[in-house]
Amino acid sequence: DRRLTADYLEEDWDRVVGINLKGVWLCMKAEIPQMLKQGGGAIVNTASVAGLVAITGTVAYIAAKHGVTGLTKAAALEYAKSGIRVNAVCPGYIQTPMVQGIFVENEGFEERVASRHPIGRLGEPSEIAAAVIWLSSDAASFVTGHNMPVDGGYVAQ
């Protein structure tokens, strides 16, 4: 669904932002009180490269994912002294059933998308999982407020 800013319907905007930003905030709102009780923890939000750069025709998604990266930074500052680390992963295009569905509907799109990643391919779900595991671990104990691209070099361009 590729629409310009002025062509977006309010109900579509609300749905996309509700899922992609409000949903993350609601999860954090539920997680943080428990983490405060237990003396700390690690939150890893799911943003996107769309939270770091802009892509035309996806304004609500771009706004929502930029919101997630901002929310991640703000919460990291708010809760750092309480032992809660807050980070986000920012995946590029990942081989998932949803993405494969988009490719099936749009001939040639997969090759165009893969070519946007300097590494020359789409990512695998296991590569995102590895980043989340690391950000959640004690090995990342000095990392907070970071929006980590896991994108085959997409945002490095």
Active site residues: 61
- Of 126, 128, 115, which Cα lies nearest the Cα of 154? 115
Bridging pattern class, strands 147-150 and 84-91: parallel
Whole-angstrom distance, CA of residue 84 vs CA of residue 119: 33
CB 9 within 8 A of CB 59: no
CB 117 within 8 A of CB 93: yes
